Amino acid sequence: MSPEAWWPATELAWLRALEGKYAEAEPLAKVGRHFAPENPYALETSALVAFHQGHCREAVADQQQAVAKFPKEWPEEERARFKQALDAYQRGSSSEAAPAAPLNR
């Protein structure tokens, strides 16, 4: 896959994850994470997939980076959604039940 395809791969990974198809989403999320490691959406998608595959520490770390790299000029509602996902991953990491996927983008 070409480096320019990171955005479509990330979006497809997000959609697959929302469908509960985490194994299908994982390689696509890795493309985004590899070619756009500073992009908040690539990090967020990686976190979502990692969490639902039982990789809680990785999910929390990726979502923390996504929150930290969130541009100030982006909508506050979106920032709040990123923070809610981080809270859910942190809570879910300490419990048996996995939280639901964050709201759609």
Neighbouring residues of 65: CB distance < 8 A, sequence distance ≥ 6: 43
**Predicted pLDDT at 94:** 73
How many Cβ atoms from other residues are within 10 Å of residue 62's Cβ?
26
Question: Which of 47, 23, 32, 26 is closest to 2 using CA atoms?
Answer: 32
**Predicted pLDDT at 93:** 79
pTM: 0.86
pLDDT, one tens digit per residue, over 3-32 is 679 999 999 999 999 999 999 999 999 999
Type of residue found at 40: P
